[in-house]
Amino acid sequence: MQQSCELFFVSSNTHKFEEAKRILSNLGLEINLFKTTLEEIQSNSIGEIAKRKALDAFSKLEKPVIIEDDGLFIDSLGGFPGPYSSYVYDTIGNKGIMRLLENIELRNARFVAMIAYCNGTDNVKLFESSIPGKISLSIEEGGWGYDPIFIPDGESKTYANVSDKDKFSHRAASLKKFSDWFMHKQ
């Protein structure tokens, strides 16, 4: 049964929203997009960044909100770009990551998704998941963001070309944790 309550996903990134909407709808939860750019503090902690984004989102909308903060952590780069993934994508992009990994064999990485929920009365609740994988040797066609360079473990293609990204993505895993908690709370 679908849950009907007004829940907003606050983000500037419509790709994230479209995936989150599809994933949550399959779990019986409907969300709306409130498109805006949120305050993103500088911190080494994705949890801290997500918490502040959720408080900022709630103060803008004054309705129950979820936000998501993601990071791609590459082992041989000491976890870079991690919490700075958005800035790094907008500046050096996938080509820049490829250059940093030139001649590096160890390409292990993980994609982390932190969902933060805030309704103004509960403290901010955080739900985190991460998916292990590796950085591809070349940039594939398709997808968005880091999709063309991230190969999740157990797959031979990147997120851009796997048959069902929603089944095992970092986003799907943390949204499942959120929806289990949220449905129980209602």
Annotated catalytic residues are: 69
Q: What burial class does residue 151 get, using C-beta atoms within 10 Å of its C-beta: 0-12 exposed, 13-18 middle, 19+ buried? A: buried
Instruction: Please tell me whether residue 11 binds ligand ITT under the rule CB under 6 A.
Output: yes
How far apart, in whole angstroms, are the C-alpha atoms of residue 116 and residue 64? Answer: 11
Instruction: Please tell me whether residue 147 binds ligand ITT under the rule CB under 6 A.
Output: yes
Q: What burial class does residue 74 get, using C-beta atoms within 10 Å of its C-beta: 0-12 exposed, 13-18 middle, 19+ buried? A: buried
Annotate each residue in 54-83 with x if it binds ligand ITT (CB under 6 A) or - if it does not, as one string.
Answer: --------------xxx-------------
Q: Which of 34, 80, 144, 168 binds ligand ITT (CB under 6 A)?
A: 144
Q: Which of 24, 55, 85, 117 binds ligand ITT (CB under 6 A)?
A: 85
DSSP state of 161: T
Q: Is the four-CA dihedral 73, 77, 83, 86 of positive or negative sign?
A: negative
Q: Which stretch binds ligand ITT (CB under 6 A): 20-28, 98-106, 139-147, 175-183?
A: 139-147
CB of 15 or CB of 185, closer to ligand ITT = 15
Q: How many other β-carbons are positioned within 10 Å of the β-carbon of residue 10?
A: 26
In the region spanning residues 108 to 127, those forming contacts with ligand ITT, defined by CB under 6 A, are none
Q: Which residue has the tokens 């309704």?
A: 119
Could you list the residues that contact ligand ITT (CB under 6 A)? 11-13, 16, 37-38, 68-70, 85-86, 89, 144-147, 159, 169, 171
